Structure 1
């Protein structure tokens, strides 16, 4: 049985709905450990897991405080995890609020820039044919529309979001990093988004990659 470690929740994203969402989506052939504080995790034991999910930003908590929990120590642990074949899955705010000149940014292949205050209805469509997009049809969700800076030459974009109000944005990408894999999925601001059938299939495709 594959083991998944998830760190969820931050100032803008309560951990309760994220815990509920992951427990709902991740199938029974996975062992799932979920934490809402980085201090609860044994980072030196990361190699015990197959997948690390970060659905939390890199700051400790307060938006006005530039202190990061995602510091050099944690960056090196995640880097080692990927070097030994692990899978890093960044969901929604897992792309945000970490040092842009640090090792984590290099691993991620991109980062969050901004999102409009309004939550538009977005059409989500795949833009690549690979195991991540297998069985994924075009679908609609109402969510924060993340606009990202992406290292286009280093990643394969597989999902785009488009709204009438704000146009098109990158919503999902994949990259190889050392011996591991990094996958990014930007939707995820509410439980309703995770209840969408195609979102659930996407997440399970990601876990199976």
Structure 2
């Protein structure tokens, strides 16, 4: 049995909708007894990482109070270093949607994820489609079939991604342009996977997104 830990919810992303989508995505793994799934908060994250869960899901913006004049961020140096140590030592990290948002571009966390959120236009129809990953000799990456696609009205995340240092497995398209929607790579002895969709409850419950989330979690936890 693999242990999966999740940290979800922020100012713009209610935890209830994320949890509903996550529970639906992971339901087959929980029903079969393949995973033990639990939630924690950023306050206890470093402590929980010391217990060495098989994988961690982060769907949480770094900004705690983005609407205020003085914006606070939750990721301090101690927690960041705990995350990096955890993954280097063999842990799995799944940075999902806002788990890529507002983290310092030059910081250790983004050096680990090799990508970060830049902006999104107003919500509109976004098409997400998996692609055949380019071969990168000796590199591990998520194994997802190409041409798995879905369309929803949602935020179209535009990201910076260091494509030369990771393996892209999904791209996203809207009338505003195209971006990278999913990528994965090894980091030290661990695995890192990043996925940009989705924001809205309807999108989070889309069965194709659920399949993608399930595959990302399994890969991070070395179940696939």
When normalised by structure 1's length, the TM-score is 0.91
State the match for 1:60 in structure 2: 64
Give, in angstroms, the shift of residue 60 of structure 1. Answer: 2.5
- 5+ long unaligned stretches in structure 1: none
| Alpha-carbon contact 2:130-2:149 (below 8 Å) kept | yes
* Contact 1:157–1:172 (8 Å) recurs in 2: yes
Contact persistence 1:134–1:205 (CA under 8 A):
no
Of 203, 206, 209, which aligns to 2:216?
Answer: 206
Equivalent residue runs for 1:18-57 within 5 Å: 18-26=18-26, 27-28=29-30, 29-35=34-40, 37-39=41-43, 41-46=44-49, 47-57=51-61
> Structure 2: how far apart are the matches of 1:207 and 1:191?
19
Contact 1:136 1:202 in 2 (8 A): no
Q: Indicate the residue corresponding to 2:132 in structure 1.
A: 128
Q: Please provide the CA RMSD for this pair.
A: 1.7
State yes or no: 1:3 paired with 2:6: no
Query: CA offset at residue 70 of structure 1?
Result: 0.7
Change (3 A) 1:140 1:42: closer
> What displacement does 1:63 show?
3.9
C-alpha distance in 2 between matches for 1:22 and 1:100: 27
- 1:135 deviates by 7.2
TM-score by length of 2: 0.85
- 1:102-113 matches, within 5 Å, as 102-113=107-118
Give the drift of 1:131.
4.5
| 8 A Cα contact 1:157 1:170, kept in partner | yes
Aligned counterparts of 1:141 and 1:133: Cα–Cα separation in 2: 20
Q: How does 1:121-160 map to 2 (within 5 A)?
A: 121-129=125-133, 131-134=142-145, 137-160=148-171
8 Å Cα contact 1:25-1:194 kept in structure 2: no
Whether 1:162 aligns to 2:167 is no
- Distance, in Å, in 1 between the alignment partners of 2:111 and 2:45 is 23
- 1:138 deviates by 2.2
Partner deviation per Cα, 1:19-54 (whole Å, 9 max, x = no partner):
22211211312211123x312x25233143111111
- Matched positions, count: 205
